[in-house]
Structure 1
Amino acid sequence: MTKLEKYEGFLDSLPDSILFHILSFLPTRDAVWTSILSPRWRYLFTSSIFEFDFRDCLGHSPVPKEHINNFKKFVDRLFFNPKHLRLESFRVNNKGVNDSLSNDFLTLYNWLCAALWHGVKEIDVNYFNRDLPVLPTLLFTCPSLVTLKLYICGWEMKLPTNVCLPNLKTLHLWGIELLDGCLFLSLISGCPVLEDLGLSNCFLDGTTELNIYSLLLKILVLDLKTWVNYRDSIDFDCVFVIDAPSLVHFQYACLAGKQYTLRNMERLEKADIELFHFDDADCEQSATLLQRGICNNPCEDRTVSVTWIVEFLHCAPNLKTFTLDLADADRVFESPLEEVPSCLLYHLKEISILSFMGDTHMFEIVSYFLNHVLVLEKLKSECRSSIIEKLSSLPKNSKKCEIEFL
């Protein structure tokens, strides 16, 4: 008996429970290959795989139609034949695949329904076809879903009347057209335990008001840079209303909206704000509107001017990490207010400075932070090698502060 035969005999002697455990450590593709070993192994892997990851199964080069059809038949059998399928996550990506799969809406629809019926907890769909007619209603009413990521470029979001995702904690939308603010509000309202919400490169044309109310939301990312680049006009009349008392991380990258109402941000620890395409006057007005929204207390006794960065810091007393892009430094920071924000004195530990070109005005900004941030541990700077020595020699009030160059 050869060593290979002894090895095969040893594997066949193992109980299914041990084989399930062994197969659970393999990637989807490798585990599936074991189905050709013998009749016993044909569906053995289906009871050991908790993740169906079909993002790279067909590669990114042209695939013969026959191979795609065989792949589709295999996945169909996988979902509908096994009796003991235990599914944690389902991921699929049709990028680079020819039209026979890209345009097969029914196949994607059926796969999603099957995954949802099997109690899947995570769904990650990358679908590069904006003509997708509709997604399964069950996708927005599934009690088992914990993570939902939809990357569907140019798809106009359509939802059932009653969205109910009682266990959804992570929702990421990419490239989707949000043409109705009320529709989006109903989506968020149907996710009572949502903690992580991300809108990336979504299209907001026609949306006059974007409401986000979530008691448990900790991470909010509104990154709409790509949408900005596709616009013919820079007029943006959207009103943002955000009420998230548990929010810790807030990222906003877009045009300046018409108005901001941001309530209950006492727990905010990290903020990344990036505004696009405005002249000097609009810059001051946009920044003022944003910081007023964070304060939820317009002006009071403060003087709102182009010193809005310091004003913003006053709005986030528990801020620990701060990223500042100095590409337009002369527009956002002149004479700082006399009162030092409390986060600089007690909480701010890390500052990242981007686009540091080394002119006098930028050095004044960095010096302000080094002089007033008493608990600073790290200052990261993106700058030219010729100004590293000068930047390193600036006096610092925090003994723990280290300067790191990116």
Structure 2
Amino acid sequence: MAKQAKNEGVLDRISTLPDHILCHMLCFLPIKDAVRTSVLSPRWRYLFTFMSTLDLYDYRQFRGFTRRDFNDFKNFVDRLLLFPKQQSLVTLELDIPGDMKIPPDLVSSCHVLEELYMEFVKLGSNITEVNIHNLSLKRMTLEFVLVNRDKDYKMVINAPNLEYFKIYDMLADGYRVSSMNSLEHANIKVHQCPEYAIYDVNRERAATNLLQAICNVKCLYLLITHAETLIPMGPEPVFAFHKLVQLKFVNETEAWVGTWILEFLHCVPNLEILHLALDAASEGIKPLAENVPSCVSFHLTEIRISRFVGDEPMFQMISFFLKHATVLETLIIAMKYLTEKEELSITKRLLELPRNSRSCQVITE
């Protein structure tokens, strides 16, 4: 009995746990420490390759690396992701400092990569092109923080099987993006630099190309500053979102133009749910806006208005929707910075507006 107790005292209970539990534990470690566990014993040698998330944020510690160092790092990533026992979902996270050169084929050779998160911090003069090519990717997030506009850069994306795409950018000089036919959700936040607020044909083309690439999306969050300048609407729109059923359009830093919003709705003929989160308007709806978008006439069932402060341009917009929406079921209006007396007065006015849809309910909150 004493001998048995002694053996139990040295039993490696952690190593006897199932693989999925050990891999879950490794996910809480930095990638370098997770890889180091491979030397513990044969039992641990390849466990780190089963990790569902690969956090390579330590990449930012590699400042001063030579080209050979970068090649060694890339080869490690390639071997890690292409390891034959790696069958589970892989998530790759990269934090790229602006003074670092990016190996253009860093993720292209991985055939099991399904989720990619890349953050570019203070993108600098070393970066002239961001090139992402991967056919297995299903989710991708690209965030550009503190972009240096002294040096233009271009973005090339070939990920045709994406189901979720998020990009937060200060508007690259150009986008070359393959069509994303499987796209379900897109979150597009594009901020234009103040020096480019005036009409710029290159920025206009870049923004248009980006929207054309995601035109198969079903649910879209869209924030584009100076949208009416970057994406001028005309009688013949250059893109159409035929599959889009849910749209949230946001503006944060500049006044919105009512006519432009209605013209954009002509590009989403089958839209069912519309959410507008807008600040103060610079221009309401012009008389020519009586050309009613087909989605308003036949498909819109829910409209949500955020940040409503009782301004006249938004009253015009709401009145337009109620007048022309034939199948609208719910109009939700969230009021902001209003006293109780102001809310009551505005609610009364809203409820008095004529409605084309008999089943439409106007809800204030």
TM-score normalised over the length of structure 1: 0.63
Superposition deviation, residue 123 in structure 1: 0.6
In the alignment, which of 163, 168, 175 is matched to residue 210 of structure 1?
Answer: 175
Distance 2:80 2:65 in 1: 20
Partner of 1:357: 309
Partner of 2:188: 222
In the alignment, which of 352, 377, 389 is matched to residue 330 of structure 2?
Answer: 377
Structure 1 residues 336 and 174: CA distance shift in structure 2, 3 A: same
Question: 3-state SS of the aligned residue for 1:353?
Answer: strand
Distance 1:151 1:257 in 2: 25
Note the 1:6-405 alignment, pairs <5 A: 16=16, 18-23=17-22, 31=25, 49=26, 51=27, 54=30, 74-78=33-37, 82-84=45-47, 85-93=49-57, 101=61, 103=63, 113-119=75-81, 121-127=90-96, 129-135=97-103, 137-155=105-123, 156=127, 158=129, 164-175=133-144, 179-181=152-154, 184=155, 187-188=156-157, 190-204=158-172, 207=173, 209-216=174-181, 217-225=183-191, 228=193, 231-235=194-198, 236-237=200-201, 238=203, 239=205, 240-241=208-209, 242-250=212-220, 251-255=222-226, 256-257=229-230, 262-273=238-249, 307-335=259-287, 337-373=289-325, 374-386=327-339, 387-393=342-348, 394-395=350-351, 397=357, 399=359, 401=361, 403-405=363-365
Deviations, residues 281-335 of structure 1 (Å, cap 9, x unaligned): xx87xxxxxxxxxxxxxxxxxxxxx633333323322112223344343514234
Question: 3-state SS of the aligned residue for 2:322?
Answer: helix
Contact 2:144/2:168 (8 A) holds in 1: yes
Superposition deviation, residue 90 in structure 1: 0.9
Distance 2:137 2:360 in 1: 40
Structure 1 residues 136 and 330: CA distance shift in structure 2, 3 A: closer
Distance 2:171 2:261 in 1: 28
Structure 1 residues 92 and 389: CA distance shift in structure 2, 3 A: farther
Structure 1 residues 143 and 135: CA distance shift in structure 2, 3 A: same
Query: Which residues of structure 2 form unaligned runs of 5+?
Result: 83-89
Alignment: residue pair count: 318
Aligned-residue identity in percent: 20
Contact 2:284/2:314 (8 A) holds in 1: no
Cα root mean square deviation, aligned: 4.1
Distance 1:147 1:315 in 2: 30
Structure 1 residues 153 and 202: CA distance shift in structure 2, 3 A: farther
Distance 1:75 1:147 in 2: 20
Deviations, residues 213-250 of structure 1 (Å, cap 9, x unaligned): 4141344443123x53xx44523332122144522234
Deviations, residues 137-189 of structure 1 (Å, cap 9, x unaligned): 342332111111110213326567xx6412112222211769354xx3xx32x
Partner of 2:85: none
Contact 1:223/1:252 (8 A) holds in 2: yes
Contact 2:248/2:277 (8 A) holds in 1: no
TM-score normalised over the length of structure 2: 0.69
Superposition deviation, residue 354 in structure 1: 3.2
Structure 1 residues 151 and 366: CA distance shift in structure 2, 3 A: same
Distance 2:171 2:312 in 1: 39
Query: Which residues of structure 1 form unaligned runs of 5+?
Result: 32-48, 55-70, 285-305
